[in-house]
Amino acid sequence: MTTSFDVITLMPQMFNALTIDGVISRAFENKLLELNLWNPRDFVDDIHQSVDDRPFGGGPGMVMMIDPILKALNKIKINHQDKDLGSSKVIYLSPKGNRFDHKKALELSNQDNLILICGRYEGIDQRFIDGWVDEEISVGDYVTSGGELPAMILVDAISRLIPGVLNKNDSYIQDSFYDGLLDHTQYTRSEEFKDLKVPDVLLSGDHKKIAMWRLKNSLYETFKKRPDLLKDRELTTEESRLLQEVIREQEHDSKKRK
């Protein structure tokens, strides 16, 4: 089954960043994923190919007009009918939207198709959002110049969660957030860099001990860097014990260093 993304954008060339390199680009090559780019400028007849106009009421900047975006959306829907695709979710990338996170990425990874609309300038005419958008999604409390980078973040993060997309199937299960914790710390060669050593247990070859160390480390990373996550994650008795243990160990080490 192919998961497809239809993106309405005035800057389709930006999406090369997703398809020319990296693990996600291979999934596009292997047809596990499909990306279709639709430029509203291709849906206007006037000689200047205008897709935006001044805001009613005055003020700075321009606003994207409804008609070219709606024509692009209708074309996408006709395309889907021809391909016998089921219903799609229409998402407008917007700083006013629901905050994108792992839970939302997981939810959206179950859709066969997503239609992503990228704004530019001051955004798009509100009447389009009210009439044709299912959900507004934000990538954070800051403003980017257009919806393209936010849309690429969604495509990348959602695609990683689609079975078969990552080289090692399902390796996303070990990533941060998947089970409500941050990932454990990572090390690679050399074993010793100047006087900096890799934790001994990781060189022991004892898989049980390594798994235990990683869980403990992951609990501590979360406790230190994102304690808010622990409020939403009920710890097992074993996890609580490991967390208490590592907190004590760290306190002891820091006292020793002083």
Give, in order, the Cα–Cα distances in Å from 104 to each of 33, 58, 111, 115.
19, 36, 12, 15
Nearer to ligand SAM, 119 or 181 (CB): 119
* Residue at shortest CB range from ligand SAM: 119
Contact code string over 3-42 relative to ligand SAM, x by CB under 6 A? ----------------------------------------
User: Binding of ligand SAM at residue 123 (CB under 6 A)?
Assistant: yes
DSSP letters spanning 34-88: EEEEE-GGGG--STT---EEPPTT--SS-EE-HHHHHHHHHHHHHHHHHTT----
Number of H helices, E strands in the chain: 9, 9
Residue 214: active-site member: no
Closer residue to ligand SAM, CB minimum distance, 22 or 140: 140
The two structure tokens encoding residue 3: 């998961």
CB atoms within 10 A of CB 188: 7
Sole residue written with tokens 């291979």: 26
Among 143, 189, 195, 258, binds ligand SAM (CB under 6 A): 143
Binding residue (CB under 6 A) for ligand SAM from 4, 9, 119, 128: 119
User: CB of 74: closest distance to ligand SAM in angstroms?
Assistant: 20
Q: Find the DSSP H helices in 83-113.
A: 102-108
As measured in angstroms, the least distance from the Cβ of 38 to ligand SAM is 15
- Check if 175 is active-site: yes
| 122 is annotated as an active-site residue | yes
Among 2, 19, 25, 138, binds ligand SAM (CB under 6 A): 138
**At closest approach, how far in Å is the CB of 162 from ligand SAM?**
22
**Nearest residue to 93 via CA among 157, 148, 33, 142:** 148
Tell me the pairing of strands 113-117 and 3-8: parallel
* CA–CA separation, 7 and 148 (whole Å): 9
Question: By CB under 6 A, which span of 66-74, 120-128, 155-163, 198-206 interacts with ligand SAM?
Answer: 120-128
96 binds ligand SAM (CB under 6 A): yes
Contact residues for ligand SAM (CB under 6 A)? 93-96, 118-120, 122-123, 138-140, 142-147, 150
List residues with catalytic annotation.
95, 122, 160, 175
